[in-house]
Structure 1
Amino acid sequence: MQIVHNQLSYFNNVLGGSISSFQGDRILQYDNDKGTGRIQTVSLGSGISYTEYDMDLNQDFNFDLKLDENRSLYFVYCLEGNFRFTKGSDSQKVEALQTVVVGGSNDTINIKLRGASKSNLSIIKVTQDGSAIDNNNHQELYDQLFATFLSEDGEPHIGTFNLKIKEQLLQIRAITQVGFVRKLLIEGIVNF
């Protein structure tokens, strides 16, 4: 999950603020002329990471989700606001309560957030990394997941509006437990 931590360092360089670690989560908080916000990441093991973006930007902001040498899937859910999503030459607008599922390898996915508006996203990244998969049950689940969402052409899947996903993601934000228990609760909700 080094890529997720490198991305948080990139945000820190661009947006300013400070990065802290707490109970396995890495958190970037910023409050300056570029806006205010909080980005929180947690690595859940078995090739899964979860990141929350709660950003109120004063200007447009672009960032890339990089697909590495391993097959990866990104589940990007827009809780509030909207964003433009670009992979290759295809660019689409994603509204609040919609999900984008995209994957592949060695591609770049660009997310563009509008300035002067609040953006609230949650991103689940699943990487099919052989060293992260600890048993055959996980391997079978990953195979089904990638077969379902990763088409030959790598086209993104944009879902319809879904309040149930928002409810699940808000449950993650409401978790008050710390340490290993928090991580297990987040992992359970993310798997659901």
Structure 2
Amino acid sequence: MRELYVKSLPLQDVIANLAEAFETTYFISCHEYRINVPEGYGSGFIRGINFSSGFGLIEYSCTFKESIKIHFSVNKIHPLKFIYCSEGIIKHRFEEKDSLHLIDQFQNVVVASTAQNGHILLFPSGQKIHMNSLEIARKDFKTKIDCDLHYVDKNLRKLFRDLNARNLFYYHGNYSLAMSECIDEIKNNTLLGFTRRLFLEGKANEILSLQINDFEDDQKAEPKRQILRKVEMTQIQKAAQILKSELANPLTIKDLATRVGTNPTKLQEGFRFTFGATVNNYLNKLRLEYARDQLMIGDLNISEIATNIGINNKSYFSRLFKSTYHLNPKDFSKQISKNVLLEKL
């Protein structure tokens, strides 16, 4: 394992220090600092940018040939860090503590060390890592937030107001779909110069706003949590598969949510995000596609098809089918038969 030491603040000095530790140079463009990881260490880049009021953003996108341990150990009050891992797995440790925190894909942590103590980040060997870290110098940031801070969760309020870093703070969560989209937009952004700086500052503010909402949602008991997390998307895919495989006896939204381990609010949000439809609209789409295919095959009559998709009312089935295909099932079947006959002539 290689160990690197960063003993400088603020952010631009952090990047300069990392460049020195990597025995390479760094580049500057419109107040954004970037290191390309030297070939001897691996591949990828580390870049950071400072905004106003003690607010900054660091992005790590790299693969190391051997494990890397980065010590952020400057003898000053360290920035409050909001860390988001979108690819790979990293570890975090407070300089004054021995315990390691594992940060998996789609997870985030909020960390604040005490007084003159810092942080240690551990990057594994041979694994692509993509991570963003919001860096907030609380004394400088104070002017930006004091007017409305009383609306924020009391734990975060206390954290932001701990200007002299008297208290250790650690929060671990799974970030939301909205957060995931925001991080992807930063990752895929191709703007340059001043427009890039404006874009990144806007996204950094958006991430902080979303983080406050995510944190407050996490303080609720599980049945009352409403924000769908990126890691929970597997539950949405599972729910969609259940609907498809059990068309004859569809579950209620509440029962479907329970079966996949979420709640109705998150289930609906996930379906709208993934399929652009509510759960019931997605179910009806599956039903109608099945009915259309069976009418084209011609092996089942209309009553059998309706039963197979869990609809006992033939009139309702007919109206539902016509609203999508502009013919009722009987006329649709006749049209198919007519077309087949014309093809044979």
TM range (shorter): 0.7 to 0.9
Matched, 1:34 2:41: yes
User: Which amino acid is the alignment partner of residue 115 of structure 1?
Assistant: S
Match of 1:10 among 5, 17, 20: 17
Matched, 1:184 2:192: no
Count residues in correspondence: 189
Identity %: 16
What is the CA-CA distance between 1:64 and the residue it aligns to? 2.8
More displaced stretch, 173-182 vs 137-146: 137-146
Structure 1 residues 34 and 70, CA, compared in 2 at 3 Å: closer, same or farther?
Answer: closer
Structure 1 residues 10 and 70, CA, compared in 2 at 3 Å: closer, same or farther?
Answer: closer
Partner of 2:122: 112
TM-score scaled to structure 2, two decimals?
Answer: 0.49
What is the CA-CA distance between 1:179 and the residue it aligns to? 3.0
What is the CA-CA distance between 1:17 and the residue it aligns to? 3.3
User: Which amino acid is the alignment partner of residue 128 of structure 1?
Assistant: R
Matched, 1:76 2:83: yes
Runs (4+) off by over 4 Å: 66-71, 141-147
Partner of 2:99: 90
User: Which amino acid is the alignment partner of residue 24 of structure 1?
Assistant: H
Q: What is the SS of the residue equivalent to 2:37? A: strand
Gap runs ≥5 in structure 2: 1-7, 207-345
Cα distance between partner residues in 2 of 1:65 and 1:142 = 29
| Higher relative contact order (Cα pairs below 8 Å, separated by 6+ residues) | 1
Matched, 1:157 2:171: yes
Structure 1 residues 121 and 71, CA, compared in 2 at 3 Å: closer, same or farther?
Answer: closer
Q: What is the SS of the residue equivalent to 1:156? A: strand
Confirm or deny: 8 A CA contact 1:37 1:56 kept in the other structure: yes
Higher helix share: 2
Higher strand share: 1
TM-score scaled to structure 1, two decimals?
Answer: 0.84
Q: What is the SS of the residue equivalent to 2:190? A: coil
Gap runs ≥5 in structure 1: none
Cα deviation 1:141-160 (Å, max 9, x = unaligned)? 56748951738741310112
What do you get for the CA RMSD once the two structures are aligned? 2.8
